[in-house]
Amino acid sequence: MIRDASSDLDVWLRSAKRKPLVLRGARQVGKSYLVRDFAKQHSLDLIELNFERDPSAAKLFAASDVATTLRAIEAFARKRIVIGKTLLFLDEIQAAPDVLAQLRWLHEERPRLAVIGAGSLLDFALAEHTFSMPVGRISYLYLEPMSFSEFLRGIGDNELADVVTELSLSTLAPLHTRLLERFREYLLVGGMPEAVDTYRESRSLLECARVHHDLLATLRDDFAKYASRVQRERLIKVLDAVPRLVGRKFVYSQVDRDERAASLRQAVDLLCMARVCHRVQMTHATGIPLSAEVDERRYKLVLLDVGLLSAALGLDVSSLAPNDDLVLANGGALAEQAVGQALRVAVPRFQDPALFYWTRDAQGSEAEVDYVVQHGKGIVPIEVKAGATGSLRSLHALVAARKWKRAIRFNSNVPSTVEIGYQLRSLPIYLAEQVHRLLDDR
């Protein structure tokens, strides 16, 4: 399956100022596959060291000079390292965090050697590191689950993928029904590569559900790695609560009234560090950057992937057709999850994606807007509707208060634009990943 991030790797490989690249992302989002496929496509001889599978590989970097280290790697891998022909892949690098520090010397002494590292729990190593980080000597690339357009390509529907990523809104109407049906499939299959591959081969939602439940079990098994920080049971408790709280302010008492808020917050922090969940941070949105006005006490959570959310919510896929309206009728949480997931892939992949929303809690005039995004030098509010209609009272209130000129509503309708004191552009929910391109398309 071709991932959009392959183009970022192409640019990186051709760059005259290339640095060692570190891929960051949750488990099972396809980091290792991406690197292996990239090496194959570019006819690079891949030398892969996996520090979790073989902890002894970290000892290869014990030498104080790069030449000795590279000779040790050659002996270990039984391959020659040839500049311009070899790709050195350091997988699960968080299991050997001291190796991160060695990337500086690889960059300075072998700048033309192609080196990629990857880690699914890398944030833990970075949070606790006692070594000198190679600041300015490495680059980062963030990998998320497959977007809707990647899902379409993954199941072989390249023509519809091109429609999503390239065509203008005026050409969309004849294909809208097909795209909406495919998007309903995406809500159930999601973007985890194993689930997409399973669906491509079987076209069975039930088989995908098995994959999802296996992945959720794997994530829970991973909690043993956090045991020194937070009780495993508390992490499971929070993870189990996230699906039913998606789209709502995360309140600790709704997880467990008997647990201390500080303990549950620590569990949330760890799940977000592992990128199993993502915070949607509340911002006052009076200016940019949005992160400057975050209220850290108030946030919502979305799960890693909408397919995993569908499984965690217990949707009975054995009796559900891919184009069943029940998906969207029950899908307020699914729709908000899917748009949040799409907004995370809508930013450049060298940027750690963040999500924001706006709320007003004043008694008698409560309001909430699902997402706000920075576009250029401005801010654009976004409302998400699972169906074709829905109230926009909160959106109107925020736009009027900030005197903004435009806003976006994602729903299941064909594209439309109305002037109601500001420009309200309604877009099909399956185009959420293209939000910045479409905002530029006046």
Please write the tens of the pLDDT for every residue from 57-72. 999 999 889 999 999 9
**Preceding amide of 289 cis, omega within 30:** yes
Residue 391 pLDDT class (50, 70, 90 cuts):
confident
What is the pTM (predicted TM-score) of this model? Answer: 0.93
Q: Is the pLDDT of residue 227 over 90?
A: no
Q: At what angle do helices 176-189 and 158-166 cross, to 10 degrees?
A: 100
Residue 31 pLDDT? 97
**pLDDT of 117-129, one tens digit each?**
998 888 777 776 6
Structure tokens at 35: 């690197």
Phi, psi for 53 (deg, rounded to 5) = -75, -35
Closest CA to 390 of 328, 439, 309: 328
Ranking 26-35, 152-161, 312-321 by mean pLDDT, the lowest is 312-321
Q: Is the pLDDT of residue 134 over 70?
A: no
Residue 82 pLDDT class (50, 70, 90 cuts):
very high
Burial class of 218 by CB neighbour count within 10 A (0 to 12, 13 to 18, 19+): exposed
* DSSP letter string, 167-185: --GGG-GGGHHHHHHHHHH
Task: Give the DSSP H or E segment for 419.
Answer: strand 416-419
Residue 315 pLDDT class (50, 70, 90 cuts):
confident
Parallel/antiparallel/unpaired status of strands 277-283 and 355-360: parallel
Residue 100 pLDDT? 86
Residue 273 Cα distances to 75, 241, 276, 282, angstroms: 35, 17, 8, 18
Which amino acid is present at 366? Answer: E
Q: Where are the domains positioned within the chain?
A: 5-142, 148-440
Residue 302 near residue 265 (C-beta atoms within 8 A) = no
Average the pLDDT over 269-284 and give the result. 95
**SS3 (DSSP) at 42:** coil
CA distance 161 to 349: 19
Ranking 71-75, 286-290, 313-317 by mean pLDDT, the lowest is 313-317
* DSSP letter string, 211-278: HHHHHHHHHHHHGGGGTTTS-HHHHHHHHHHHHHHTTS---GGGT-TTS-HHHHHHHHHHHHHTTSEE
Please state which CATH class domain 5-142 belongs to.
alpha beta
Ranking 15-24, 48-57, 125-134, 208-217 by mean pLDDT, the lowest is 125-134
C-alpha 168 chain-centroid distance: 25
**pLDDT of 401-429, one tens digit each?**
999 999 999 999 999 999 999 999 999 99
Residue 329 pLDDT? 46
**What is the average pLDDT value for the chain, to the nearest integer?**
91
Q: Is the pLDDT of residue 359 over 50?
A: yes
Burial class of 66 by CB neighbour count within 10 A (0 to 12, 13 to 18, 19+): middle
Average the pLDDT over 382-396 and give the result. 85
Structure tokens at 157: 């529907």
Residue 232 pLDDT? 85
CA distance 99 to 268: 28
